[in-house]
Structure 1
């Protein structure tokens, strides 16, 4: 498992005044056609905790909800970015999962991105936020909106019961053997065993298991899964393996796919940039450049435009711009 200092692009702003920011945002929203540049300058340069304080000051000052006013005054993908920035991280995950399941058809890639990558603590907070926001149980909704072994794996992940920090080298070879058999046999029982190991063992343990798997089978874990399984079940298993190995590289891959393979899948790009902005977006940028030869800035500039592009680039930038 690759260990390095994780770094977001958005840090707390120094000399922060929520009252002053709330006043400026209020003025920006009242201008004809709305001062979008002002909104970008403020909301992309404050950390989430500071944005929450701005929203509280705004409520006190104007007696109105800032998220509601942003929704009313903005439109399109730019609105999605600005509104998304205002949610606390667990609420944003809940918001994305709800809309992924409650629209016409389920957006499985959203479920995969979020549930394959979140920690136990993040999953617990997300479930709580989901219930508070939608008066609905996340596990029940996943159960009713998905099916098969894909559903079983999601249901396992959403329990948030992955072992943390625990390793047992003696068990690694045994678990690797179970995974290898699961890729050979492909019965329902073997699929269950496969997902149980991937969803419940610690990242440190799985790192050893994948090395043992390579020794036993002569094959990389991801290649074996791709060869043996298909559909969303296969995509979810691969996502878990990639997150164990190098989470920033996983998100770099997801961004690259969303930008290039889907003709710029806006929802995915927005979701990842906002969700990772205070966690590891700087690392994701580095992985993107290393793996794909061009910077994330370059690719966003090629596919987005106007204030939407400016907002995405501002979230990406942190204090280092890499064109």
Structure 2
């Protein structure tokens, strides 16, 4: 029935955008994939292709983005971040700093399938220095899981402290190796030990000692380890307020996190910034694009 209604919405000269929003934002990703199969069977046409043909601008980006499985959507975003006019480093940071081992493995597989290209090689070709080294470490998807050793945490914290003091190439390598490979549980202990040793929060230390995309990536890793929803709330706030509404970032985060932790992200957003995510989207977006973003957020009336 959904496929039939979408077919009606997309056929002819006009396009019933409200119908598209009502269906595609109110179904989970697994259901949307089933709808796409039914659409293909019913009309002999690809639903994503028809959406791309009928829609335009950021509204098209939202509707098309909803139709990808999450690993394929991550692959899609990474591809476009590297293949456009200049590399969108913040897209690489947001995705690779926050995904689990399993998500990274699925993302690499999807990237290879969709683009007949190797994700690691493509990242290597468009980045450089310790920023590249850290991304290449993350893309391996080999972070330890569920392991914590208090004695080792003190040693790791000392290594991090020395890395922030010495800032040599070798120290930068040790810094990124610890942040990219130790388990979340272990790094919680490391960050506590770092505070005890240095009297300083590790994010403040990284910001003082390093700069550029390397610094931004290290901070993103730390923030994601501490509170991933809070990190994405911060990224949404920055995208909305610091860059004149950076549409790509807002769309990417809302779609990618919609079935994972978007409700918690909304909560963190309101706690930290005093206004709801709904409020800020309504202030900066408009038309069917605004309606689609708000529908993905899908909250109670009080959030408006």
Q: Say whether the fold is shared (TM-score over 0.5).
A: yes
Equivalents in 1 of 2:62, 2:149: separation in Å? 43
Count of equivalent residues = 304
Instruction: Give CA-to-partner distance per residue, 1:166-200, whole Å, 9 cap, x none.
Output: 11111000000000000000000000000000000
SS of the equivalent of 2:157 reads helix
CA distance in 2, matches of 1:127, 1:286: 31
Q: Whole-Å Cα distance in 1 between the matches of residues 93 and 155 of structure 2?
A: 27
SS in 1 for 2:301: coil
Q: 1:143 Cα shift? A: 0.4
Q: How much does 1:33 deviate?
A: 2.4
Question: Which one of 21, 24, 48 corresponds to residue 40 of structure 1?
Answer: 21
Residue segments in structure 2 that go unaligned for 5+ positions in a row: none
Q: C-alpha distance in 2, partners of 1:231/1:63?
A: 49
Cα distance change on mapping 1:265 and 1:46 into 2, 3 Å = same
**Pairwise CA distance, 1:116:** 0.1
List per-residue Cα deviations over 1:268-290 (Å, max 9, x = no partner).
00000000000000000000000
Deviations 1:135-159 (A, max 9, x none): 0000000000000000000000000
The structural deviation recorded for 1:245 is: 0.3
TM-fit CA distance, 1:319:
5.5
Partner deviation per Cα, 1:218-259 (whole Å, 9 max, x = no partner): 000100000000000000000000000000000000000000
Deviation at 1:32, TM superposition (A): 3.6
2:284 alignment partner, one of 300, 303, 320: 303
Runs of 5+ consecutive residues of structure 1 not aligned to the other structure: 1-19
Could you tell me how far 1:318 is from its partner in structure 2? 4.4
Cα displacement string for residues 263-315 of structure 1 (whole angstroms, at most 9, x for unaligned residues): 00000000000000000000000000000000000000000000000000000
TM normalised by structure 2 equals: 0.99
Alignment partners' CA distance in 2, 1:30 and 1:204: 52
Aligned counterpart in structure 1 of residue 254 of structure 2, from 270, 273, 284: 273
TM-score, structure 1 normalization:
0.93
Deviates more, 1:231-240 or 1:29-38: 29-38
